[in-house]
Amino acid sequence: MLRAPLPAPTVLHGQPALMGDQELFSEVLKVQNKIFYLDLKQNGRGKYVKIAEKGKYRPKSSVVVPLSGLHSFIQLFDLYMRTDGPDPQSRDVVVESKVFNFSCGENDRGRYLRIFESGGGYPAGGSSLMVPAGWGNANIRAFRESFEKIANWLNQTGLPSIEMSSGLALTSKPDSVTLDVSKEGGPVLSVGSKHFFFDARMNDRGRYLKIKEVSGNMKTLLVVPAHAVAKFQEAISLAMLVQPRPDQELMGNGVQGGPPGGQV
């Protein structure tokens, strides 16, 4: 059923702040009954874009995107902006130690684009934004244009522009496998909607390998002492040589065998 056209999103302001401030550039988008703040900021770890949502029907929330992920955000907003038919598959973007999941949905107020951030500084769960698509995806288009303004402002002011490749992985198939290197220097293994971050660390008890799995709003942490890593690798190799056993939990729920496509 066709809906009446909704008002176009309004840009309330788009002026750069003083260069001495941590906030470098700011835009405010008024989208239906919500206000979104898009702020380019910097701190000791570098530049990032903070996107905050303030609306009537849900508490204020925000996601923080390292500047190296801005190019992929522009690409994905391009994808969802051109989608007028069936909802596209959800997509994941890995940026440094964070995972951003993009997915479409619909409620009584219309179609929307959901962006869920996990990993990074979230010990569990994460934070999400709900962007109303608008008539002809006008709201998604406004966000895409705001990201472009941030990139153009960086270029015009002579500051380092966005990095076109930054250890991030775009996954479009559930069973796709990619291996990248995060900005921190550790490998990131992406298997469909699961992402594994490998990070060598040290504390007063010695060196260890931290393996963090991020999948949607779930996070699992595994710590392997450095002197046991070789045996850990050997144990994995031996386990894969053994004939796999049926998962009793899955069979008990009426599902035969393990997950399709070799996923875990």
Q: Are residue 86 and residue 125 in the same domain, yes or no? A: yes
- Tokens matching residue 38: 């898009």
Q: Tell me if 164 is assigned to some domain.
A: no
> Sorting pLDDT into bands at 50, 70 and 90, what band is 53?
very high
Is residue 238 over pLDDT 70?
Answer: yes
**Of 126 and 167, which is predicted with more confidence?**
126
Of the candidate ranges 33-37, 59-63, 121-125, the one whose mean pLDDT is the lowest: 121-125
Structure confidence at residue 26 (pLDDT)? 92
Please give the Cα distance from 194 to 264 (Å, whole number). Answer: 9
Q: Are residue 223 and residue 252 in the same domain, yes or no? A: yes
- pLDDT per residue over 4-28, tens digit each? 455 555 555 554 444 444 789 999 9
Q: Are residue 53 and residue 117 in the same domain, yes or no? A: yes
Q: Tell me if 1 is assigned to some domain.
A: no
Q: Are residue 19 and residue 122 in the same domain, yes or no? A: yes
Domain stop point among 156, 189, 224: 156
**What is the domain-level CATH number for residue 241?**
3.10.450.700
Of the candidate ranges 2-16, 151-165, 247-261, the one whose mean pLDDT is the lowest: 247-261
Q: Are residue 40 and residue 135 in the same domain, yes or no? A: yes
Mean pLDDT of 98-122: 82
Please give the Cα distance from 106 to 113 (Å, whole number). Answer: 9
DSSP assigned state of 262: G
The contacts of residue 211 (CB under 8 Å, 6+ apart) are 196, 197, 198, 199, 221, 222, 223, 224
Q: Are residue 212 and residue 110 in the same domain, yes or no? A: no
> Sorting pLDDT into bands at 50, 70 and 90, what band is 171?
very low
Query: Where in the sequence is the domain holding 61, given as residue range(s)?
Result: 10-156
- Tokens matching residue 250: 């899955």
Domain count, the chain: 2
Please name every residue paired with 36 in a beta bridge, in sequence order, or none if there are none: 29, 53
Q: Are residue 19 and residue 142 in the same domain, yes or no? A: yes
By the 10 Å C-beta count (0-12 exposed, 13-18 middle, 19+ buried), 45 is classed as: exposed
Using an 8 Å Cβ cutoff, are 95 and 75 in contact? no
Q: Are residue 49 and residue 146 in the same domain, yes or no? A: yes
Q: Are residue 147 and residue 193 in the same domain, yes or no? A: no
